[in-house]
Amino acid sequence: MNDGKIVAINRFPSPNPKVELMEITYISNGLKVKGLLAEPKDEEVSDGFLYLRGGIKNVGKVRPARIAQFASEGFIVFAPYYRGNQGGEGNEDFAGEDREDAFAAFILLKSLPKVRDIHVFGFSRGGVMALLTGIQFPEAASIVTWGGVSDMSLTYRERKDLRRMMKRVIGGTPDKYPERYHDRTPLYELEKLAAPVLIIHGAHDGNVSVEHAYRLERRLRALDKSVECWYFAEFTHYFPPAVNRKVVEDLAKWMKSQHKR
Percent over 70 (pLDDT), the chain: 99
pLDDT band at residue 42 using 50, 70 and 90 as cut-offs: confident
Would residue 216 count as lying in a domain?
Answer: yes
As a residue count, the chain comes to 261
Say what the pTM is: 0.98
In the prediction, which pLDDT does 260 show?
A: 56
Q: Answer yes or no: 209 catalytic.
A: no
Give the amino acid at 98.
D
pLDDT surpasses 60 at 261: no
- Give a yes or no: residue 226 inside a domain: yes
Domains of the chain: total: 1
- pLDDT of 156 > 90? The answer is yes
Sign of CA dihedral 124, 121, 1, 194: negative
Catalytic pick from 124, 142, 150, 209? Answer: 124
Q: What is the model's pLDDT at position 44?
A: 83
Give the distance, in angstroms, between the CA of residue 42 and the centroid of all CA atoms in the same chain: 25
Flag whether 1 is in a domain: no
pLDDT digits (tens, 9 = 90+) for 218-260: 999 999 999 999 999 999 999 999 999 999 999 999 999 997 5
182 noted as active-site residue: no
Q: Provide the domain limits for residue 103.
A: 6-256
> What is the average per-residue pLDDT within 50-57?
96
In terms of DSSP bridges, do strands 197-202 and 46-52 run parallel, antiparallel, or are they unpaired?
unpaired
Task: Reply yes or no on whether the pLDDT at 48 is more than 50.
Answer: yes
CATH label of the domain that carries residue 110: 3.40.50.1820
Contact (CB, 8 A) for 49 and 78:
yes
Contacts of residue 58, Cβ cutoff 8 Å, sequence gap at least 6:
none
**HSE-up of residue 232 (Cα within 13 Å, Cβ side):** 19
- The CA distances from residue 261 to 118, 139, 225, 258, in Å, are 12, 11, 19, 9
- Residue 153 confidence (pLDDT): 98
Q: Alpha-carbon distance 81 to 58, whole Å?
A: 10
